[in-house]
Structure 1
Amino acid sequence: MIRSTFSGFTMAQLALLSSQRAIDVTGHNVANINTLGYTRQRLDLASINPVGASFSGSPFDTRVGQGVMMVGISQIRDPFLDIQFRNQISKVGTADATDKILEQIGNIFDETDSSGIADAFNEVLAQLKKMSETSNAGESSVEELLKSNMQVLMNLINQKAEEVGGLKSDLIDQLKDTDLKNLNSCIEQIVELNSAIKNSQVLGSPALELQDQRNALLDDLATYLPINVKYRTDDSSGTPVDVMEVTFRDANGEEHVLISDDKAGEFSLDDNNGEIPVSLSFTNSDGETSEVTDLLRNGVLKGKLDMLNKAGSFDGSGIKGVGYYEKMFDCFVEKLATVMNDMNAYTDENGNEVRADLFETTDPDGKFTADSIRISEKWLSGEIGITKSQNADPGSTEYENVQKMFNALSSDKYQFKTTTPDGKEVVVFEGTIAESYDHLADTQAIDRKATQSILKNHITVLGQIENSRDSVSGVNLDEEVMDLMRYQQSYNAASRLMTTLDQILDKLINDTGMVGR
């Protein structure tokens, strides 16, 4: 024979081995069809090219390859779909965090299924209306009922303020004790997996299952903030290994390195002693710290920080977070207290104005807030009462001032103003006092409906991207069964090749040169 006697057998042997290994890989895919985060694997094959000098110097010599070679086992992933998925899941994280907080705000101010401040306010109006009627002139019991209803209203206002404060505290605790711990833990686990994957690759294993764990953690990381993942090959140790870098770009365009191979940064929260605003900082592996509170572009962190720190028209941010509803609630309380206190003042016989404030505040700055407002001790003790006429003795039997109070609370319109941090005066609402409270629930309902619509759209897009990614990286039983049949046929063909070569060799050795014996 001109060529090597066992070259054909080696070719058939390599074909058998590669077919067998391909069947093993396919079986591994089928076995993990329900494994969460598993990425479909494939056997990478390459043709063995003929090498070395030709034994024949003839120009008509044709050189044939030497069979197939197993290059390795790789995962079937589309990097573009991974980028799209992680960018989209960070948008879902923002909308989902915002929606959950708006739901909690709604639970505080929504009174559609239970009696609350709106009903108590209406009871106060009903008693004022009753007190202004001539038939009830001189009836002290009517004012006592008014005082009782007003006390109920104040208790409800204080309770709502406490619930808002509790919501802020809960959100700060969630950020500090849950979200940031999970985020930093996720970063640490990815760093550990990077080292484990490199060590496995040095020993000749592709560590595909470890890469699946790392990809799942990268997806989790992307829910907190938008990330960019880069890979490169490092062969400085003599063996090519994969090196990964994870970064995030802030709103100013500055890129921060979250993970660089076996080095990682860390997030920390300054909770401002439980008060807002809170601040988020990032410290990279070199120890450099940057404040990124208002620089995150998407993710759960952005959604929660915005809802915690932003106050809409009150701070000029345009984002109606918890602070907006808290300050709008304080505006309602402040207007209620100041209007009632001003209208309860009267002029004595000497022409001097006498204050008979019905409400007082525990705030050190003297401001009326939902948390600090109280019924004045003088009214509770009976030292003062409702001023019936501002231009006469408070003991007068004329009740025109009570009717004015009723109108002031029920129908008179006011401008609710605030001063933004830059010193600009802004009207945040215009209407009656009762409408200013209803405005809270209405605004929450509108904001949540808009957020739910955005969240639904983001989830729809995310689902489409995930389906596309699964169609590439997921295990499809029909495709795997077809691969099993194809590799089985190739195994049978390689076996038939070996049988054919055996028959040819037998003919050559045993049946050639028999003439003349």
Structure 2
Amino acid sequence: MRPTFMGLETTKRGIMVNQKALDIVGNNISNVKTKGYTRQRLDMVSVQNGGTTHLPTTSIPLAGQGVEAVGVGQIRNAFLDSKFREEYGDVGFYDQRQAMLSEIEAAISDPEVEGTGIKDSLSTLLTALTKFSENPYQETQANIVRSAFTGVAQTLNQYAQKLNTIREQQQSDLAISVEDVNAKLEQLADLNKTIVDEVFTNADYDGTAYGPNELLDQRNLILDALSRYGEVQVFPKDDGGMQVKFNGKVVVDGTGNQYTADSIQIGEDKTSLMWQSDQEQLKLPTGVLKGYVDVLNGASQLDKGIPYYQDKLNDLAVNLAAAFNQVIPNDNGDAGHKVLLEGGEDGTITAANLSISADWLADANYVIQQNPDGEMDNTNVLNMKNLLDQDFTFNGEFTGTFSEFVTYITTALGSDMTLNGSRLEASVTTAESVDESRTSVSGVSLNEEGIEMMTYNKAYQALARMMTTMDEQLDVLINKTGLVGR
């Protein structure tokens, strides 16, 4: 025979469990728009009906003791989390790189406003030299040519200054990103401590320890955000904590209540990154940090960054000075030629310091020469004009005119942006697809929750009716049994 009141206990357990299940459904619906919220479930098991004696006995009297809740778990897929974070790192890399390349494009590409770009400056110079060649004796035309050369030099100065400003700003932004990464690593370590303290010992159906679900959601949000900066790998532990690798290095680890986090340092060059714990250089397979470092340090033709375009502008400045400083011979038969363009005090010429020479600045007639017979000659002016149509070799990478070299630089930048943009689009598409799959698993579906709500509500009502039936049975057993024959 079963215990007299077992039916009431069975029904009571069912009512309490279904009531809690309705609470969880309500919680899910309430958080349908909460960022990072993971759909929760009430895990239930049938009450064990084993006896208390080691002697063989039947389990029938104790069968049917109902249901009990073992914990509130989360519906989450670890593989989809890992896949999303992998793709999100690529999104961060291409997105950051595209943003920086766009700033470079705005700095050195010929703007829409006519007369303000380097090609327009070269065109203005060509026009000025053409008119000067027709009137090589007029000081007015010489002054116009000097102004045109000044325009070319100042445009290159502005381009160089803009690139330098972009570099400094991006170095500052990199420092902010590093601070954000370090803060997230510290938050992960702190959350691990709290979660380990609060986690339950028993595991849910997915083999994960039950714990404070809201804190688990916070931790997952931080991991998602961190994955945009680089490669994130997560290794859960039995106590509810986790080990985190960032770009292949263990950065959050520990046991019990001793979780610690590593941090990133920036070198004196403001672009190199190393770990605080061992000064090891960061490996950058993907992510925003790689985007920063690649563009800040990229100086090769295969890895074009700010230094690459700075070098190209310097090549243009050096070739301009070298060409035009070999055109007009010195007066009075002195050896050598007049210096029209110069750079720094040490003689180094760059796009940042290119300017017309002090002698020419003092006298516009510096470029006017008179033949021994007293007549004016336009030979030197024509030679200067022809230099603008002459091919030069720029650092062994390109051969063409000055204007063609500018086109080569901007075209290379445009091609790089187009390629990077297509990869960004593909990465975003893939990441969104994975995120949709992940959301379909861990996100709240109002349709599903509505079905769950009706299911638990019907069970609750049925159990309430069962309670009434059990009460009626006990009334018969207690108050009416044994009255026959009195």
Q: TM-score, normalised by structure 2?
A: 0.91
Aligned residue identity for 1:344: I
Q: Does 1:430 align with 2:399?
A: yes
Any idea what the Cα deviations from partners look like across 1:200-253, whole Å, max 9, x if unmatched? Answer: 2379982111111111111111111111011111xxxxxxx312110034xxxx
d(CA) in 2 for partners of 1:60, 1:155? 96
- Compared with structure 1, are the counterparts of its residues 60 and 303 closer, same or farther at alpha carbon in structure 2 (3 Å cutoff)? closer
Aligned residues: CA RMSD = 2.4
**Among candidates 252, 260, 263, match of residue 260 of structure 2:** 263
**Among candidates 370, 373, 377, match of residue 358 of structure 2:** 377
Q: Does 1:501 align with 2:470?
A: yes
Residue 376 of structure 2: aligned partner: 397
**Among candidates 220, 228, 231, match of residue 226 of structure 1:** 231
Any idea what the Cα deviations from partners look like across 1:138-164, whole Å, max 9, x if unmatched? Answer: 212211110012112222221221111
Aligned residue identity for 2:128: Q
Aligned identity (percent) is 31
SS at match of 2:112: coil
User: How many aligned positions are there?
Assistant: 473
Residues 247 and 257 in structure 1, CA contact (< 8 A), matched pair in contact too: yes
Cα drift, residue 32 of structure 1:
1.1
Residues 91 and 424 in structure 2, CA contact (< 8 A), matched pair in contact too: yes
Cα drift, residue 81 of structure 1:
0.7
Q: Does 1:280 align with 2:273?
A: yes
Residue 120 of structure 1: aligned partner: 121
- Compared with structure 1, are the counterparts of its residues 57 and 129 closer, same or farther at alpha carbon in structure 2 (3 Å cutoff)? closer
SS at match of 2:397: strand
Cα drift, residue 63 of structure 1:
6.0
d(CA) in 2 for partners of 1:383, 1:501? 114
d(CA) in 1 for partners of 2:373, 2:32? 84
Residues 45 and 69 in structure 2, CA contact (< 8 A), matched pair in contact too: yes
Q: Does 1:213 align with 2:218?
A: yes
Cα drift, residue 111 of structure 1:
2.2
Any idea what the Cα deviations from partners look like across 1:59-113, whole Å, max 9, x if unmatched? Answer: 7968624221211101111101100111111100000110100110111122241
- Compared with structure 1, are the counterparts of its residues 471 and 288 closer, same or farther at alpha carbon in structure 2 (3 Å cutoff)? same
Cα drift, residue 8 of structure 1:
1.6
* Greater mean alpha carbon deviation, residues 396-405 or residues 367-376: 396-405
Residue 412 of structure 1: aligned partner: 390
SS at match of 1:213: helix
* Greater mean alpha carbon deviation, residues 54-63 or residues 371-380: 54-63
Cα drift, residue 10 of structure 1:
1.1
Cα drift, residue 329 of structure 1:
0.9
Residue 155 of structure 1: aligned partner: 154
- Compared with structure 1, are the counterparts of its residues 179 and 58 closer, same or farther at alpha carbon in structure 2 (3 Å cutoff)? closer
Cα drift, residue 386 of structure 1:
2.5
Superposition map of 1:17-96 within 5 A: 17-52=16-51, 64-96=63-95
Residues 195 and 241 in structure 2, CA contact (< 8 A), matched pair in contact too: no
SS at match of 2:240: strand
d(CA) in 1 for partners of 2:387, 2:455? 85
Aligned residue identity for 1:360: E
- Compared with structure 1, are the counterparts of its residues 436 and 371 closer, same or farther at alpha carbon in structure 2 (3 Å cutoff)? same
Residues 29 and 446 in structure 2, CA contact (< 8 A), matched pair in contact too: yes
Q: TM-score, normalised by structure 1?
A: 0.86
- Compared with structure 1, are the counterparts of its residues 57 and 186 closer, same or farther at alpha carbon in structure 2 (3 Å cutoff)? closer
d(CA) in 1 for partners of 2:463, 2:169? 67
Aligned residue identity for 2:132: M
Residue 299 of structure 1: aligned partner: 287
- Compared with structure 1, are the counterparts of its residues 399 and 45 closer, same or farther at alpha carbon in structure 2 (3 Å cutoff)? same
Residues 45 and 70 in structure 1, CA contact (< 8 A), matched pair in contact too: yes
d(CA) in 1 for partners of 2:59, 2:234? 53
- Compared with structure 1, are the counterparts of its residues 394 and 460 closer, same or farther at alpha carbon in structure 2 (3 Å cutoff)? farther
Superposition map of 1:10-21 within 5 A: 10-21=9-20
Q: Which runs of 5+ in 2 are unaligned?
A: 203-209
SS at match of 1:34: coil
Q: Which runs of 5+ in 1 are unaligned?
A: 234-240, 250-254, 418-426
Residue 290 of structure 1: aligned partner: 280
Residues 231 and 244 in structure 1, CA contact (< 8 A), matched pair in contact too: yes
Greater relative contact order structure (CA < 8 Å, 6+ sep): 2
d(CA) in 1 for partners of 2:93, 2:304? 14
